[in-house]
Structure 1
Amino acid sequence: MLKFFRKIRHKLLADLPASKGGNRVTRYLVYALGEILLVVIGILIALQINTWNEERKISKERNQFMQSIKEDLIADTLSLQETLGKWNIQLADLNAFKQQVNTTKNIDSLIFLVRYEFSPYFSSFSGFNDNTYRSMLNTGKLSILHPELRKVLQAHYNQQLDTKEWHVNQIELYQTVVRTYTDQFPMNIDAKFISNQALEDIVWKDINPKQLILVLNSWGTRKSFYYQSHIPRFEARLEETVFILETHFNK
């Protein structure tokens, strides 16, 4: 390209009228202006090439981040579906146990039921897959995304963070209630330290029925709330994740 402009400049010099062509000052000025023009053109071309290369680099990086975020969102949908499935099953089991408790005829029947059927277990959520987003946020790379998508993802991951913190808090509250139970009554689990039937009989023989009912009610209420509050909240996160995938990543 520069050679082309240089040839034009030489031709212009050659075509100067004889009266002007012999004027060294005029020829020098034309030559100097031509040289300046060539330099300016060269700079503009270099800048344009650099801009193209930078845009291509950003586009490639954007596509890589988009693919990684898409994989994170897909992983979230699978994890949420699995966890919600477990919670619904566990809630059904809890309701069945509740029905048994509320149809016992006497305290001995209740003690037997609680002693052998009580289950403190629950499924917690493993966590959201937000590594790509957090990495982009920490490195300032979010700016390469389309403004609309960036706004959607910021709201989405902020919701995830709030849900995660709330979930951790609910687990701590539930574990506190379980500890209150286990501090007073043995649990029928494989991991228990004392498995001697005679020793357990001593504990269950002398329990305070009123205290058992109070602690059992506190535990059941907390566990029921755990599922009834978690399921709709996490269903909302699932619906939101699926919507983002379908709207912004499956085009």
Structure 2
Amino acid sequence: MIKFFRKIRKKLIEEDNVRKYLLYAIGEIVLVVIGILIALQINNWNEEKIMDRMVSQALSEIREDLVQDTLTLQSRITLQLAEFEAQTRVVDALTRQTLNEEEHRSDLGKLMLMRETVLLRNGYDYLKDLGISHLNRPELRQTLLQYYEHDYAMLRKDLQNDEFEFEDVWLPYARVHFKDWEFGEYAVPHSYSNIQNDTYLLTTLKINLTNKDGTIRAHSQALETAKSLITMLETR
């Protein structure tokens, strides 16, 4: 092809036909430009295909993370609900002054506990590195942001509050007023009478129930969003 154009160029130069030569030169430039544009388009197309594959890989990893997250969240909700009910029974017993070892030994071991909830972000972080704007499904993109940027943040905030109350409020109290304590299993106070008449303990447990309710709600919201995301990812 190049040899063919050279022959034409040589012939026009030999004929000393300036007008035809200029037209030929312009035509050759146009062909070169068209060739460059086609090459750029092919390169862009290839890059888009590569990006689509990486985004698809990130979404597959996100789905795997979410499946594990739903198991973790459901497990935590079940535990937290049981602990909430146990603490409610203790609050009722303290209010009625009917606290006793036979009925409440196990419940006392479930007061103001903090349990870590670890959710997976590997797939989402990979997608963020690629650029979440490459995801051309607005509803899915919005739900991902809801789960990882909002629900996750709210969950972490509630867990931090639980950690503070457990470590800075409950443990110091338990060390002074309990002779035996096993995390989540049981607790035995030095004197049932003393803690039964301790208004500080009753008030503290009531406040903590409100915080526990918030933590359970945060877990439930995250679980609902995670399930929605799994459904959306499975129908892509």
TM-score range, shorter chain: 0.7 to 0.9
Could you state the TM-score of these two structures normalised by the residue count of structure 1? 0.70
**Structure 1 position 124 matched with structure 2 position 109:** no
Distance 1:204 1:33, change over 3 A: closer
Quick check: 1:155 aligned with 2:146? yes
CA offsets, 1:188-246, max 9 Å, x none? 2369xxxxxxxx9xx947x9837853243135324433432222232122112211221
- Residue 85 to residue 37, structure 1, CA distance change in 2 (3 Å): same
Aligned counterparts, 1:93-132, within 5 A: 93-98=86-91, 101=94, 110=100, 112=101, 116-117=105-106, 118-119=108-109, 120=111, 122=113, 124-132=115-123
Amino acid across the alignment from 1:213: D
CA 1:74 to 1:204, structure 2 compared with 1: closer, same or farther past 3 Å?
Answer: closer
Partner of 2:214: 229
Distance 1:190 1:152 in 2: 40
1:204 to 1:231, Cα distance in 2 relative to 1, 3 A: closer
Structure 1, unaligned runs of 5 or more:
192-199
**Larger of the two Rg values belongs to structure:** 1
Contact 1:83–1:123, Cα closer than 8 Å, also in 2: no
- Closer, same or farther: CA 69–6 of 1 in aligned 2, 3 Å: farther
Q: Is the 8 A contact 1:80 1:234 kept in 2?
A: yes
Q: Distance in 2 between matches of 1:74 and 1:144?
A: 23
Out of 179, 187, 209, the position equivalent to 2:194 is 209
Query: Is 1:40 equivalent to 2:26 in the alignment?
Result: no
AA in 1 matched with 2:37: L
State the distance in 1 between where 2:178 and 2:206 align.
20
After superposition, residues 51-90 of structure 1 pair within 5 angstroms as 51-90=44-83
**Unaligned runs of at least 5 residues, structure 2:** none
Task: Indicate how the Cα distance of structure 1 residues 217 and 238 shifts in structure 2: closer, same or farther if over 3 A, else same.
Answer: same
Deviation per CA, 1:53-84, whole angstroms, max 9, x where unpaired?
Answer: 11111111111111122222222211111111
SS class of match (2:54): helix
Residue 175 (str. 1) matches residue 160 (str. 2): no
Question: Counterpart in 2 of 1:241?
Answer: 226
Q: Provide the TM-score with structure 2 as the length reference.
A: 0.73
Q: How many residues in Structure 1 have an aligned counterpart in Structure 2?
A: 226
Show CA shifts across 1:9-46 (max 9, x none). 699x5xx9xxx997332564455344324322321221
Whole-Å separation in 2 of the counterparts to 1:212 and 1:153: 49
